[in-house]
Structure 1
Amino acid sequence: MILYPAIDLKDGEAVRLLRGEMSAATVFNADPAAQARLFERAGCEWIHLVDLNGAFEGYPVNAAAIGTILEAISIPAQLGGGIRDLGTIESWLDRGIERVILGTLAVEDPDLVREAARTFPGQVAIGLDARKGQIATRGWAEETDLTVTDLAKAFEDAGIAAIIYTDIDRDGAMEGPNLTATETLAKAVSIPVIASGGVSSLDDLTRLRDTNVIAGAITGRALYDGAIDLKDALSALES
């Protein structure tokens, strides 16, 4: 199982939100490129990036900060937030992002997501963010009546590289991931599922690993706070 350390970007800084609230942002590093280098030097295989401002605005906002991150690292990075059209997808991939994450588009324009997955094979993931099992979009500000599993199944034949599943109520709360919902989703689809939201201890990571069906886990606050020792986590996930 792959560990994806998260760098969430707000106004050019690495922050973490509490349950998706922009007003509840804690700055962890004013130099996100330096943070990315630390993760790479520790042995991480991927970096998970989110343009938080972009997710709300609907277009890239933290492009300058993301550019400095890409220049600073040699490992692949995946990016979500504010990616709403093919031109933006192509632009990010051309700049060096390995995989884009489409969330709002998966609900509002699934045909475009399918086209993107065909055009850029292996480089398009979908982000399924949910409160109590119901999908939320546009930076988690708008809720829908779609369930996570139903939406995931709609993309089974689309060539999607991965699903990033986030339980919004767990995100940044240090309360553990929604293991049951994540495992249920991973068993329901053939697309690799990456867990996000609430991963706050080494035990959380090993429980996700031991399901044998979850492909990866994203964590941010627990790494910044020291609740998870990165070296121990990487060692545990390799075993």
Structure 2
Amino acid sequence: MIIYPTMELQNGKCVTLHRGRLEEPSIYHVDPVETAIGWAAEGAEWVHVTDFDAVAGTGNNDELIEEIIRRTATSVQLAGGFRTRERVEQWIDKGAGRIALGTMPARDPETFKVLARDFPDQIVLAVDIWQGQLMTDGWKQPAAIQPEVFLQQFSNDPLAAVMITDIDSDIDQPDESLGVISSLAGQTPHRVIASGSVREIDDIARLKYVPNIDGTLVGRALFSRDVNLAEALEIAKPKPEKTADFI
């Protein structure tokens, strides 16, 4: 299973949100670039970055994200505000390893499908759930399609992964979030990245054995030091199968 150490950017700072509320961020006074460099040094293969200013349409953190891509010795997965083909292409050209999109596939599924075909294994379908509904536009608008139908719509496209977030779940109730994510994970043939379900190290150990979950984002738990990245990476490694000894 892949651990995606995660930073969410707002006004140039690392933040986390409570149930997706952009107006109520918790701010962490760390350097985003140095934090990403540190994660790579600890062995992370990927870093996930979400631009909340781009999500809200109030600006962006483009220069900071470019520096993270340029200076971090790991692949970078981006999310937040990718509403057009041009912006997706721009960031792939700048070196982003993957782009996660949620609003575009709900509003313009054909363009999303073309992007998936043009950039195989670089496009991630973001599925954001609130009270059982699929949400778009920065988690503000419910989509007129059921999450299960939404997933099935892209079953045959060459996606890098499907990223599922239970917006409504509280980080102190990971069991509920895991139930939502694991249920939807069974509805897609693609690899699934869980988001919002890691509160402590034991949650990673549990996620590892949920069918079809290939990775998990870990953000708040890292910044609050409830999870140690090196330990999480070690737990996520595949364990070798026992083999019989022959004489």
Note whether the superposition's TM-score is higher than 0.5. Answer: yes
Q: Which amino acid aligns with 2:18?
A: L
State the partner residue of 1:229.
228
| Cα separation, 1, equivalents of 2:201 and 2:145 | 32
Q: Which amino acid aligns with 1:186?
A: A
| Cα separation, 2, equivalents of 1:30 and 1:228 | 17
Q: Check conservation: 1:160, 1:191, Cα contact below 8 A.
A: yes
| Cα separation, 2, equivalents of 1:211 and 1:67 | 34
1:180 aligns with 2:183: no
Q: Check conservation: 1:101, 1:124, Cα contact below 8 A.
A: yes
Q: Check conservation: 1:9, 1:62, Cα contact below 8 A.
A: yes
Q: Check conservation: 1:46, 1:76, Cα contact below 8 A.
A: yes
| Cα separation, 2, equivalents of 1:174 and 1:92 | 34
Instruction: Mark the CA change 1:43 to 1:29 in structure 2 (over 3 Å): closer, same or farther.
Output: farther
Q: Check conservation: 1:176, 1:201, Cα contact below 8 A.
A: no
Aligned counterparts, 1:70-81, within 5 A: 70-81=69-80
Secondary structure of the 1:23 match is coil
Q: Which amino acid aligns with 1:142?
A: Q
Q: Percent identity?
A: 32
What is the Cα deviation at residue 191 of structure 1? 0.8
1:194-228 CA-partner distances (Å, limit 9, x unpaired): 00013111111111101242110001010111111
| Cα separation, 1, equivalents of 2:144 and 2:201 | 34
State the partner residue of 1:193.
192
Aligned counterparts, 1:11-50, within 5 A: 11-50=11-50
State the partner residue of 1:92.
91
Relative to total residues, which structure has the larger helix share, 1 or 2? 1
What is the Cα deviation at residue 170 of structure 1? 2.5
| Cα separation, 1, equivalents of 2:135 and 2:40 | 31
Over aligned residue pairs, what C-alpha RMSD do you find? 1.5
Secondary structure of the 2:213 match is coil
Secondary structure of the 1:121 match is coil
Secondary structure of the 1:22 match is coil
What is the Cα deviation at residue 30 of structure 1? 4.4
Secondary structure of the 2:230 match is helix
1:205 aligns with 2:204: yes
Greater CA radius of gyration, 1 or 2? 2
Q: Which amino acid aligns with 1:235?
A: E
Secondary structure of the 2:143 match is strand
Q: Which amino acid aligns with 2:122?
A: Q
Unaligned 5+ segments in structure 1 are none
Q: Which amino acid aligns with 1:7?
A: M
| Cα separation, 2, equivalents of 1:175 and 1:29 | 26
Aligned counterparts, 1:65-214, within 5 A: 65-170=64-169, 173-176=171-174, 178-214=177-213
Greater than 6 Å deviation, 4+ residue runs: none
The two structures have a TM-score, normalised by structure 2, of 0.91
Secondary structure of the 2:104 match is helix
